[in-house]
Chain A
């Protein structure tokens, strides 16, 4: 137990000390990747542990980012109407923008709005026992709805350009390297806290209920648990994590647009978790960092083949590494330890019930 905890501590401390050994540019990249790692944690919770595959987490990420971006935009507009509204013909700040001039409200909203939206959608679909691929496809439709809306409502959202060109956050200049380092460290801390939260949840009895829901949702009902409330809870928790990541993302990258909440980014989020290991929280973090590093690397070296590589990665992971990198290490280690008992396949719990 202690050794493992020590390992995690070392990992997070190594990340935390990033500014000491990473250059400014690489630190910025890493900060972005760690935001993605927070999203990945959330996806791991719902997908790896609960069996809900959401192809719509870009929406929650985006909404969280927009909430914070609205505050940043207002702050950098110095009390004037944001530039894009001016040339979109809006004469006064829309009512729903007004509270976002308060940073506390904006930051709280970046957590709560995604969580509430997810809870609503989750409650309806899970209560109606829509699950598996049907839920995945519906979550994709939700992405289409939101992206179309955000693009079409240009006078409110900045349209395809999104919100960008921020100057300060709570009075600190976002361009300053020191502020960027502070934001990076904040990201590491929040990632660490999210990880701890997620690990505690999955190690609790509730976490075992979630795994049970994944393996046999109907069976869980016959133990007296209502899977709907568990699923709604974990789904909105994961949406809140995505929203939180969006906030950190927009602070560090200084930009959010509908393109970042689209279908492709949403599916890529799932890929991070698949590559790292869908049943492993630390795997999700590693997956997000590794896939995005690889993306940076490949798209710089061989821009044309990045999408082929990405496609192959999907296929390889699904076909040969269903439990991702961490899973592969696990079984390799297992083999090394000469564990040979493998007989008997695990029946799905729901064999009869469903």
Chain B
């Protein structure tokens, strides 16, 4: 019984982590159709930001407040990610909106550079982030331990989703963004500054990657190459979910998470990875538009 609960929870948890990683892409790739291969490095930037914030707290802030470094790290990671994204959009992406394949190549170049820069600043070895003590331990349900860190990530991704939804649906800026992604020329002729919207949207998507990086520090390594672990998965999830559909991305992440954990439980981690990717590729053959698609006519 405990195993079933644990595994179910693991599936949801893995799904939530994948969702957090893919959420930023769902905006930059899903809504704006920009292939940003440096998305993984924005995750890395978020993780390093968390590390820096932690270092700063341990050096300059009374030890009693150390535990709150994480609270400060989340918005800061968002800001750093968003800033990087904004700069990237202004200097590179905006010249490449009509050349998606080229933006793929150029941003891959950016990702190489960011990795090397991180190595130069922080050194080649991994750095360690100590998770705040209030995230230690877990909730025990029927013999199954649900770690607080994983619960926290589920909560974090929910908050991100809800804020994103509110932003897109309830604020003027968000509605402008949706208008631009739906019909660029129409929005532009109605006086929406598409340039501004593009930059904002890209910054938000990149900022979400920063948050993902911050969240990942409590579970995994922090090094210059962590972005590369997630980037392909993230793109596949967005495609699987359906381009342009945030809800689709949620479903995509959760199904990959569940399938991954189930497959891993029955076979092994390597085979699980193979199974998940083969399943995604096969699924896209039957439904090229993904699980849910905002666009009516297939992948064009």
Residues of chain A at the chain B interface (Cβ within 8 Å):
53, 124-125, 128-134, 136-138, 140-142, 144-145, 148-149, 151-152, 263, 267, 270-271, 274, 304-305, 307-308, 310-315, 317-319, 322, 354
Q: CA A142 – CA B103 in complex, angstroms?
A: 21
Q: Which residues of B contact A354 (CB under 8 A)?
A: 300
Q: Could you tell me the distance in whole angstroms from the C-beta of B112 to the nearest C-beta in chain A? A: 3
Q: Which residues of A contact B96 (CB under 8 A)?
A: 318
Q: Could you tell me the distance in whole angstroms from the C-beta of B34 to the nearest C-beta in chain A? A: 9
Q: CA A125 – CA B288 in complex, angstroms?
A: 9
Q: Does B127 contact A (CB under 8 A)?
A: no
Residues of chain B at the chain A interface (Cβ within 8 Å):
35, 92, 95-96, 99-106, 108-113, 115-117, 120, 228, 232, 235-236, 239, 268, 270-271, 273-274, 277-278, 280-281, 284-285, 288, 298-300
Chosen A-B contacts, 18 in total, with CB atoms closer than 8 Å, are A53-B101, A128-B288, A130-B299, A133-B35, A141-B232, A144-B273, A145-B274, A149-B274, A152-B268, A307-B112, A312-B109, A314-B109, A315-B106, A315-B110, A317-B105, A318-B105, A319-B92, A319-B95
In contact, A141 and B106 (Cβ under 8 angstroms): no
Q: Could you tell me the distance in whole angstroms from the C-beta of A289 to the nearest C-beta in chain B? A: 19
Q: CA A314 – CA B235 in complex, angstroms?
A: 21
Q: Which residues of A contact B235 (CB under 8 A)?
A: 137, 140
Q: Which residues of A contact B35 (CB under 8 A)?
A: 133, 136-137
Number of A-B residue pairs at CB separation under 8 A: 122
Interface of B is mostly: helix
8 Å CB contact of A314 from B99, B112, B285, B288: B112
**5 additional contacts (CB under 8 A) given A134-B288, A152-B274, A319-B95:** A136-B35, A137-B35, A145-B277, A149-B270, A311-B111
A137 with B239, Cβ < 8 A, contacts A152-B270, A274-B105, A318-B106 known:
yes
Q: Which residues of A contact B284 (CB under 8 A)?
A: 125, 128, 130, 134, 138
Q: Could you tell me the distance in whole angstroms from the C-beta of A279 to the nearest C-beta in chain B? A: 13
Q: Could you tell me the distance in whole angstroms from the C-beta of A59 to the nearest C-beta in chain B? A: 13
Q: Which residues of B contact A133 (CB under 8 A)?
A: 35, 100-101, 104
Name the residue on A nearest B271 (C-beta).
A152
Q: Which residues of A contact B300 (CB under 8 A)?
A: 129, 131, 354
Name the residue on A nearest B115 (C-beta).
A307
Q: CA A338 – CA B105 in complex, angstroms?
A: 32
In contact, A141 and B280 (Cβ under 8 angstroms): yes
Q: CA A267 – CA B101 in complex, angstroms?
A: 12
Q: Could you tell me the distance in whole angstroms from the C-beta of A192 to the nearest C-beta in chain B? A: 28
Find the residue from A149, A315, A317, A354 having the highest chain B CB count within 10 A: A315
A314 with B280, Cβ < 8 A, contacts A305-B116, A307-B113 known:
no
Q: Which residues of A contact B285 (CB under 8 A)?
A: 124-125, 128, 130
